[in-house]
Amino acid sequence: MSARSTILHSISAALGREAGTTAEQIETPAAVRERLTHPRRHTLPILSGDLTDRLIEQMESVLMTVVRLQTPSEIVTAVDWYLQSEGIEGGITVSPALAHLDWPDSVTVGAATGHEATSVTPALAAVAETGSVALASGAATPATLNFLPENHVVVVNESQIVAHLDDVWECLRDLQALPRALNFVTGPSRTADIEQTIEIGAHGPRRMHVLLIAGE
């Protein structure tokens, strides 16, 4: 008997089903089918106040910095200003999704190689509940840009701000295909593995900067 069959028999016996039958031989219970086809929300924490304010507050509490911009045309300047003010040198790689902006010639476009200092990527959503940016991988948004560079700049439109994680599930279901990776990033990489003391910059980016662009 295959391991799969052994395990299915063993679970079936544990659940007190008729000897020798596995879940494959019986109909999927209506409750299971219903649950899978009509996902139900659980209790959501109530968020008080303005969503954008809450988002910014949460992000700052996990050491992300946030700058508000009026239009997407300000992104290139805002990135340059940020890098200068932080004294960050080295190469910049941007997601293909942002390639249309007026970047200087030194900026590269594509997946991360591990040699760039800074990446600039767009978000699928930003979650006020947690202070996270939600980043979906795809041809125009390589996931490695979220993890390899030392500094990560994320572009969020105010219209992309949602209240709860559950709202992101709706965004995900609206996409044409399931992205290989959906990364919620909530602040720069950290560890507390040495004496329970928090250190920033364990393996992922040491700095996270959000450019929040005003809605139309």
Partner 1 sequence: MQAQSLTFKRNAKEALNDESLKSALSNVKSGFIGKRAAAVALVPEWQQIREEARVMKNHVLENLDHYLLAYERAVQNNGGHVHWAASSTDASQIIVDICRDAGARTVTKGKSMVGEEADLNSALEAAGMQPIETDLGEYIIQLAKEPPSHIIAPAIHKTKEQVSALFHEHHQQYGLHEQLIDRTALVNEARTVLREKFVAADVGITGANFLIAETGQHILVTNEGNGDLTSNLPRVQIVIVGIEKVIPTLEDASCLLRLLARSATGQHFSNYTSLMSGPRRAEDADGPEAFHVVLVDNKRSEMLAGELREMLRCFRCGACLNHCPVYGAVGGHAYGWVYPGPMGSVVTPAMIGIENAPDLAHACTLNGRCAEVCPMSIPLPSLLRKHRRQTFEKQLQTRKARYGLGIWSALARRPGLYQLITRVGVASLSLLGRRRGRFKRLPLAGAWTQARDLPAPQGRSTFMSLYRQQKK
Tell me: does residue 41 bind partner 1 (CB under 8 A): yes
The residues in 126-155 that bind partner 1, with binding defined as CB under 8 A, are 130-132, 137-139, 142-144, 146-148
Give the Cα separation of 126 and 4 in Å (integer): 40
Cα–Cα distance measured from residue 21 to residue 100, given in angstroms and rounded to the nearest whole number: 58
The residues in 50-89 that bind partner 1, with binding defined as CB under 8 A, are: 58, 62
Listed in sequence order, the residues at least 6 apart from 150 whose beta carbon sits closer than 8 Å to its beta carbon are 88, 90, 117, 118, 201, 205, 206, 207
Per CB under 8 A, the list member of 85, 114, 215, 216 interacting with partner 1 is 114
Which segment (38-46, 49-57, 78-86, 98-106) binds partner 1 by CB under 8 A? 38-46
Instruction: Choose, by CB under 8 A, the member of 76, 108, 190, 214 that binds partner 1.
Output: 190
Query: Out of 18, 19, 20, 40, which residue is the one contacting partner 1 (CB under 8 A)?
Result: 40
Report if residue 3 touches partner 1, rule: CB under 8 A.
yes
d(CA 155, CA 69) in angstroms, rounded, equals 10
d(CA 210, CA 153): 6
Of 69-77, 80-88, 154-162, 190-198: span binding partner 1 (CB under 8 A): 190-198
Residue 165 interacting with partner 1 (CB under 8 A): yes
Q: Does 12 bind partner 1 (CB under 8 A)?
A: yes
Can you list the alpha helix ranges (DSSP code H) found in 15-74? 30-37, 51-61
Cβ(171)–Cβ(124) below 8 Å: yes
